[in-house]
Structure formats: structure tokens, C-alpha cells
């Protein structure tokens, strides 16, 4: 069996948030409150330990071609854990709580997680987080329990426009590339795939996206990278600073002729 994952086509998303509701209902995740954020129509704010799908509303002002005035174009994207080929969270976990299961998904075993939180800063996408009550980390399981009995994940099942599709990742990538070509032929030249055939340290994403604007517009990193990518530059900076301090100290203590 190949790896299973998601293809999220943002051009089909209508912002209904059915995926958010279905995810919370199936996984019995508590509500996050009902406070107005003032950030467009998005009051979910971000992914977290009790929010495993998040539909982002991005208002994109532009001028109409007839110059009749400004209007608002919408970018909508249902964000989720990327289930990376090289997951930073799994590498950082000291207890072995985070594994790649038989479906190729990154899964946090709640009975082994000790709440250390090392995984949280190790995710370049800011996906995984700790619950406030016991400190354990939680994120999208790609509906592991549903997959085991042959049912697609709740979010994909609930999506009315098939913006979220679930299946074998290789097949999804082939389908997604065809979708990009179709959009290009229709004049949507800005369409591209995020998380496919990209040369980054996280590797390909098993939950990838079709976007029409820069990744940063959707609160995604332009070039995601694992924390260990910073080790070489951090070591070099420390070496330069240590050398400078040592040299300065030696010069200051050097005996001078009176």
C-alpha cells in the first residue's frame, strides 16, 4: 500500500467550514470559544490541539479591469497537518510517541506522549501544539481510526465541492498536476502545487495544496525547513562570536610597556 494523504484544491473551496465541523464532530474535539477575532470571517484563527482543520479566509484587494473601483477577491484554504516526508515533529520526539503508521501518515500516540513539547517548535508549519490540561501534543491523525475500517477521513467526506480529496498520494499528485494544467488552459496561470516536487528539507508533503497566490498569503512558509537546517549557520555564528570575544580578551590583557 502506498502512502495515503490529502490533496486540497483551494480553487474549489467555498469557505463553508464543513470540514472543520466534521473533524471536530468525529474526533470529539471541544469548541475553541466563540470570540470574534475581527480577522475577516475567520474566527478559528489557527490550527491547534483541538482544531485539526482550519479554513483560512484571506481577503485579497484588487482593482477591477474596467477601473470601476476596488473589490475584494477571496482566497480560501482548508489547512491541515502536512504529514511530511521528513517530519520535524517525529525527529524531535524523545519518547517515540510520534510514528509513521501503516498508511504513511504521521501519528501521535497519546498514550506514549509525555507532554515535553519538543515537537511544537520543530514543525515548520506550526501545526502541532499541546493541550492546556495535560500538556500532551495533538494534531490531525488523518482519521486513522476511519482508515483502518476502510472509510475516508471525515473532512474529505464532508467537503461538498471536493476541494479536499483523499487517497493514494501518488495518484493524488498525478490528478493534481492534471488539474493545474487544466486551470492553465483556462487562463488561471497562477495555479501551482505546494508541497510537490519541492527541494526542501521537509520533503514532499502527503497533504499538499493547489494555490493561486504566494504561500505566505495562506500563512504557509515559502521554503519550509527543519530546525536542524539552522545548526551549521548557528555554529558558525557562535564560532565567530567566540573568536571575537577571545581575541578581544587577549588584547585587553596583553602586557603593555610603560
User: Is 143 assigned to a binding site?
Assistant: yes
Instruction: Let me know: does 83 contact 123? Beta carbons within 8 Å.
Output: no
User: Is 103 assigned to a binding site?
Assistant: no
Instruction: Let me know: does 144 contact 107? Beta carbons within 8 Å.
Output: yes
Contacts of 47 (CB under 8 A, 6+ apart): 53, 54, 79, 80, 81, 126, 127, 129, 139
Burial 6-43 (b: 16+ CB within 10 A, else e): bbbbbbbbebbbbbbebbbebbebeeeeeeeeeeeebe
pTM for this model (two decimals): 0.85
User: Is 129 assigned to a binding site?
Assistant: no
Q: Which CATH architecture has domain 4-226?
A: 2-Layer Sandwich (3.30)
Residue 235 has pLDDT above 60, yes or no: yes
Domain ranges of the chain: 4-226
Question: What pLDDT digit, counting tens, does each position of 14-59 carry?
Answer: 999 999 999 999 999 998 877 787 877 788 889 999 999 999 998 8
Residue among 232, 167, 178, 171 nearest 201 (CA): 232
User: Is 159 assigned to a binding site?
Assistant: yes
Burial 112-132 (b: 16+ CB within 10 A, else e): ebeebbbbbebbbbebbbbee
User: What is the predicted pLDDT for the residue at 71?
Assistant: 57
Instruction: Let me know: does 128 contact 119? Beta carbons within 8 Å.
Output: yes
User: Is 128 assigned to a binding site?
Assistant: no
Question: What pLDDT digit, counting tens, does each position of 56-78 carry?
Answer: 998 876 655 545 555 557 899 99
User: What is the predicted pLDDT for the residue at 199?
Assistant: 87
User: What is the predicted pLDDT for the residue at 36?
Assistant: 81
Report the pLDDT averaged over residues 196-216. Answer: 94
User: What is the predicted pLDDT for the residue at 37?
Assistant: 79
User: Is 23 assigned to a binding site?
Assistant: yes
User: Is 13 assigned to a binding site?
Assistant: yes
User: Is 228 assigned to a binding site?
Assistant: no
Rounded percentage of the chain residues whose pLDDT exceeds 90:
71
Report the pLDDT averaged over residues 199-207. Answer: 93
User: Is 140 assigned to a binding site?
Assistant: yes
User: Is 149 assigned to a binding site?
Assistant: no
Question: What pLDDT digit, counting tens, does each position of 91-135 carry?
Answer: 999 999 999 999 999 999 999 999 999 999 999 999 999 998 899
User: Is 9 assigned to a binding site?
Assistant: no
Amino acid at each position: 500500500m502506498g502512502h495515503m494523504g490529502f490533496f486540497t484544491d483551494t480553487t474549489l473551496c467555498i469557505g463553508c467550514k464543513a470540514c472543520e465541523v466534521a473533524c471536530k464532530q468525529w474526533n470529539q474535539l471541544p469548541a475553541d470559544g466563540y470570540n470574534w477575532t475581527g480577522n475577516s470571517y475567520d474566527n478559528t484563527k489557527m490550527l491547534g490541539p483541538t482544531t485539526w482543520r482550519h479554513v483560512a479566509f484571506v481577503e485579497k484587494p484588487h482593482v477591477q479591469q474596467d477601473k470601476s473601483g476596488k473589490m475584494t477577491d477571496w482566497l480560501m484554504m482548508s489547512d491541515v497537518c502536512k504529514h511530511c516526508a521528513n517530519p520535524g515533529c517525529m525527529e524531535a520526539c524523545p519518547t517515540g510517541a510520534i510514528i509513521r503508521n501503516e498508511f504513511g501518515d504521521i501519528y501521535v500516540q497519546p498514550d506514549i506522549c509525555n507532554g515535553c513539547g519538543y515537537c511544537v517548535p520543530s514543525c515548520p508549519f506550526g501545526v502541532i501544539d499541546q493541550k492546556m490540561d495535560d500538556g500532551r501534543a495533538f494534531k490531525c491523525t488523518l482519521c486513522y481510526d476511519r482508515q483502518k475500517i476502510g472509510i475516508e477521513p471525515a473532512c474529505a467526506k464532508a467537503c461538498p465541492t471536493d476541494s479536499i480529496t483523499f487517497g493514494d498520494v501518488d495518484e493524488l499528485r498525478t490528478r493534481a498536476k492534471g488539474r493545474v494544467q487544466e486551470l492553465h488552459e483556462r487562463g488561471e496561470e497562477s495555479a501551482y502545487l505546494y508541497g510537490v516536487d519541492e527541494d526542501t528539507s521537509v520533503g514532499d508533503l502527503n497533504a499538499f495544496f493547489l494555490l493561486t497566490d504566494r504561500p505566505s498569503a495562506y500563512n504557509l512558509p515559502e521554503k519550509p525547513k527543519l530546525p536542524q537546517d539552522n545548526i551549521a549557520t548557528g555554529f558558525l555564528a557562535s564560532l565567530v562570536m567566540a573568536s571575537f570575544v577571545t581575541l578581544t580578551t587577549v588584547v585587553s590583557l596583553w602586557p603593555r610597556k610603560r
